[in-house]
Amino acid sequence: MKNENVKGGGQLKPDIKQILDVRCELVNETEKSVDIYMYGRIVDQQPIDWWTGEPVPGDFIYPEDVRNLVKEAGEREINLHINSTGGSIYASIAINNFLKQCKNRINVYIDGIAASGASIIAMAGDEINMPSNTTMMIHRAAAGVYGNAEDFRKAAHTLDKFDETVLNSYKSRFVGTVEELKNLIKEETYLTAEECKVFGLCDNILEEMEDKLDAENNADIKVSLFEKYKITAEEKNTKETLFKKFNKNGGNNE
């Protein structure tokens, strides 16, 4: 949803503007960077009211809008903030591929949740950051189908293809095996920031970054090296524990 103050957007009546939050926008421009917020539902294109011909009010993320915002960013670094429960797989894949191909450095920040298609978009980041209280969800493709048995068989075949697409979206980052990743996707798994970092699906837990920086600034080289490799060892142990936990529970994140 947009208003006249949001770059790349249309207009809304003043009373609607005051009620609804406006998201999928470019803000906080500096000489070197811009912030782009993707808050809302991922759709193939801006929904239009068939009766009035006007854009439907709501928080929508769609490829054309994303392309316009990135174009407006020019060559500047993009801080991409995501808070979305997902939506269209077609649009999610298109946005992911577009962001990967653009020349801008993209720093992803998951502000609340990156679920389903939103987690696929997040994978386009050069660096993915998650506060410790945020969540990512990955799952298999889903669709509603109406028709005869042949229609259902065709839909199932198509969904199998999309499952491969979903798998490939995470595979380059995931630290485990393909089968382990398939199990997580199959079980519609919700992941904490810690689990995402261990599995390779995010790079930094923001509070952890701050704590580590403070420790390095106030310690001598011996202590700094000790803390560095202690953290590495702890992450390795945590990864092994989490993998065992998922395998023991049959892939359920409980």
pLDDT at 97 over 80: yes
Mean pLDDT of 158-186: 86
Query: From start to end of 6-123, where are the E strands?
Result: 25-27, 33-42, 60-61, 77-87, 106-115
- 211 pLDDT tier (thresholds 50, 70, 90): low
pLDDT of residue 201: 96
Q: What percent of the chain has pLDDT over 90?
A: 46
Mean pLDDT of 147-160: 75
- 235 pLDDT tier (thresholds 50, 70, 90): low
pLDDT of residue 22: 43
Are 38 and 8 spatial neighbours (Cβ–Cβ below 8 Å)? no
The DSSP secondary-structure symbol of 56 reads: P
Phi, psi of 233 (to 5 degrees): -65, -40
Mean pLDDT of 186-214: 83
Are 109 and 129 spatial neighbours (Cβ–Cβ below 8 Å)? yes
- 14 pLDDT tier (thresholds 50, 70, 90): very low
Phi, psi of 247 (to 5 degrees): -65, -40
pLDDT of residue 111: 95
Distance CA 215, CA 222 (A): 12
Specify the residue for token string 């720093």: 107
pLDDT of residue 150: 80
pLDDT of residue 20: 35
pTM: 0.72
- Amino acid of residue 225: L
Are 58 and 104 spatial neighbours (Cβ–Cβ below 8 Å)? no
- Please return the burial class of 2, using the count of CB atoms within 10 Å of its CB with bins 0-12, 13-18 and 19+: buried
